[in-house]
Amino acid sequence: MAEGTRSWREIRAERALNEQDVRNYGVLMDAQALVAAHAAKIGIEQARIVEALSASDPDRVAADASVDVGQEVLARFVAALGGRLELRAVFDGGAVVLMRDGELVTEDGA
């Protein structure tokens, strides 16, 4: 685990969550771990990854987010690493971007 990050058990011990919340946070942390591994693989420094994890702390996001907290946490984490989060519908014939950085994408792609 990266320096400055906390384990799921540490976070779980601090929260009064129902079991669905527990599953959601587990999925979110798995997604962040996948993104962090990819970020490290493409040369993003460990310090920047740790900083991005801090910027996307669920408690900080929940205080000011008007959208799904899990999505916003992941979007902030990806943005802090220089990327963007997109929601895509993927079909055998291709994919369509539906949402970019928390905003619905219009027909012209804007």
Domain ranges of the chain: 8-83
Per-residue pLDDT band for 46 (boundaries 50, 70, 90) equals very high
> What is the model's pTM?
0.53
Q: Tell me the two tokens of residue 25.
A: 């946070």
pLDDT in tens, 17-42: 677 777 777 777 877 888 888 888 88
Question: In sequence order, what DSSP letters do the residues of 21-60 get, joined into one string?
Answer: HHHHHHHHHHHHHHHHHHHHHTT--HHHHHHHHHHT-HHH
Closest C-alpha to 3, from 59, 55, 49, 58 = 49
pLDDT in tens, 58-99: 766 666 555 577 777 888 888 899 998 887 877 777 777 777
